[in-house]
Amino acid sequence: MKLKSIFNYILVAILAIQLVSCDNKETLESPFGATPAERLDAKQKELNDLLESSEFGWKAVYFTDVTQLGGFTHVFKFEDGKVDMASDFDDDTSVYSSEYSIELGSTTSLLFSTSNRIHLLSDSNNAPTAALRGKGYKGDFQFLYYGQENGEIIFRTNRSFEELRFVKATAADWTNLAKARAMIPNVVGASSRPLFRLLETNDGSKINQFDFTFTPASRYAVANSIVAGSSFSYNVGIAYTATGITVKPAIKVGTQDLTDFVYDANTGSFNATGTGGVTATIRYSNKPLVLTDDYKPLLPGNPTVIYAYIAANLSTAASNSNFTNSLLNAANASLPSTQKINRIQFYFNDGANGSYIAYTFTGGRSAVYHFVKVTEDPVNKTIKLSNDGWSVATPPTFLQAIDNQLLDPNGLYVKKETFKITYSNTIYTFTSASSNFRLTTYAFQ
C-alpha cells in the first residue's frame, strides 16, 4: 500500500474517533435531554406551579424537634411571589401577607423571604423552656423540595433536614386554627378536673398505664410507665386540632401506631382508636397512679427537713396548679401594693419549735408562723397537718384560704419530682388529697 493511501486511512480513523467522542460527550453532559440548569429551572417552575395550584392553599403541621417540642399548624396560600399565612402559634390566628421565593442551589427550595408567622419558630428570643434559651423553637423558614407523594408536597428543613409535608388545605383549615387554640385548656387540664392524669393503652388483651405530664409552653408530653422498675415511656410532641390533638411520634400500641386523639367533653379525656380493640386514652385520675413514701422524712422523729415555695423562682412553675395560683393571687391582692407573699416555708422536726409553716412577705411585713402537728395516713400515703397554734393572736384572714388547703383533713400527697427549676435543689410538690391545690417547693437538705 502506498504511503499516501495509509495516511488517508489514518486520517479517516482519527476523524471517526473524534466524532464518536463528541457523541459520547454530549450523552454524558445531557443524559436526560436537558442541561443541569434547564432541569433546575423546570423544577423551580414545577414547585411554584404546585404551590399555586391548590384552591385553598396548603396546610403543614410543623414539629420542629420531636425530642422536646410539639407541633404548630400553618396554612398558606401562594400566588405570584406573595403568600398569605396564618398559624396557631398564639391566639393571633389572623392571616398575614409576606413574600416567598423559589431558590435554586444544590436543590430547589421554598424560602419564606420576608417575616411572617412561620418566622416565630426560628426567633431565638422565643425560647419556651430554659433548655432552649437562645434557640427558640428550633424552627426553619427555608424548605428543600423533594417531590410529591399522594397529593402532598414533600420538603426537608434546610437546617435539620427533617421531613415536612404540605397537604392541600380546605376552607375549614383556615377557621380551625382558632378552634385548635380553644382546645388548649382541655389539653392543659381544666381546674374543675382532678390534677392527676394518665395515659392508658389497650392492645386488645392487656391494659398498661403511664403517668402523664404535659408542658404547655413547649407543647410536649411525657408519659412514664407506672410499673415498678420499668423505664418505658412515651415522649411525644402535641399539636392541637379542632377536635382534639395529634401526637408525634405515634403512640405505638401492639403493632398499631395511634396519632389522632379526639376530645370527649363529658369526661375530659382524649381518645385514640385503632382496630381489634386497640385504644389509647389520656384521662383523669382522682389520685396519683403511684403512691410514694416521699412523705415519710417529714414525720415526727426524723431529722429536720425544710421545703420552701419561693415566689421569685416558683410562681410560674408549671407544677403549681391553677387553683393554687388563684389563691396566691387573691391573697396578694388583699395586701398593700408594696407587700406580697414571697415565701411559704415548711419546717418539719425543727427541734423545740416542732413543725410549722412560715409565711414571709416583701415590703417589711412581719413573718407569720402556723405551728402544726404531723401525722400520716399510711394507706393513702399522705401526710396530715393539723392546727397547733399561731405566732399571732389573730391569724391573717388573707392567708386563710391557702392555709386551709395545707391543713386539708384528707392530707397532702408529697412527691419528689425529677425536674429542676432554675437551681439544683430537688423539687417537691405538696398536693391536696381532696382538691386541685398543688404547691411547688425547693428542698433545703
Closest Cα partner for 405 from 376, 378, 370?
370
CA dihedral 295, 358, 402, 299 (to 10 degrees): 20
Cα–Cα dist 343/307, whole Å: 10
Pairing of strands 163-168, 269-273: unpaired
- The beta-strand segments (E) located in 151-264 are 152-157, 163-168, 196-202, 207-215, 220-225, 233-240, 244-253, 256-264
Is 72 within 8 Å of 249 (Cβ atoms)?
no
Number of residues written out for the chain? 445
**22 pLDDT higher than 80:** no
Cα–Cα dist 52/46, whole Å: 10
- Average pLDDT for 157-176: 96
pLDDT digits over 86-109, tens only?
999 999 999 999 999 999 988 999
Q: What secondary structure does DSSP assign to 414-437, as a single string?
A: EEE-S--BSBSSPEEEEEESSSS-
**8 pLDDT higher than 70:** no
Closest Cα partner for 357 from 302, 406, 299?
406
C-alpha cell at position 328: 396566691
* CB neighbour list of residue 319: distance below 8 Å, 6 or more residues apart: 417, 419, 427, 429, 438, 440
Report helix, strand or coil for 353: helix
416 residue type, one letter: K
Q: Please tell me the predicted confidence (pLDDT) of residue 29.
A: 47
Is 37 within 8 Å of 29 (Cβ atoms)?
no
Query: Would you tell me which CATH number, out of the four given (2.60.40, 1.20.120, 2.40.128, 1.10.1240), belongs to the domain 184-285?
Result: 2.40.128
- For 272-283, give one letter per residue: b (16+ CB within 10 A) or e: bebeeebbbbbb
Share of the chain above pLDDT 90, in %: 85
Share of the chain above pLDDT 70, in %: 93
Indicate the average pLDDT of the chain: 92
pLDDT digits over 269-310, tens only?
999 999 999 999 999 999 999 899 999 999 999 999 999 999
Pairing of strands 368-377, 382-390: antiparallel
Report helix, strand or coil for 15: helix
pTM of the model: 0.79
User: What does the domain layout of the chain look like in residue ranges?
Assistant: 40-182, 184-285, 296-443
Closest Cα partner for 440 from 322, 333, 358?
322
**19 pLDDT higher than 50:** no
Cα–Cα dist 186/72, whole Å: 17
Cα–Cα dist 426/414, whole Å: 13
Q: Please tell me the predicted confidence (pLDDT) of residue 271.
A: 98
**11 pLDDT higher than 50:** no
pLDDT digits over 378-403, tens only?
999 999 999 999 999 999 999 999 99
- Average pLDDT for 171-191: 95
Cα–Cα dist 247/226, whole Å: 21
* CB neighbour list of residue 189: distance below 8 Å, 6 or more residues apart: 195, 197, 214, 268, 284
| Residues β-bridged to residue 279 | 202, 273
Report helix, strand or coil for 193: coil
pLDDT digits over 211-260, tens only?
999 999 999 999 999 998 899 999 999 999 999 999 999 999 999 999 99
Is 395 within 8 Å of 368 (Cβ atoms)?
yes
Give the pLDDT band (50/70/90) at residue 130. Answer: confident
Cα–Cα dist 341/359, whole Å: 7
Is 281 within 8 Å of 272 (Cβ atoms)?
yes
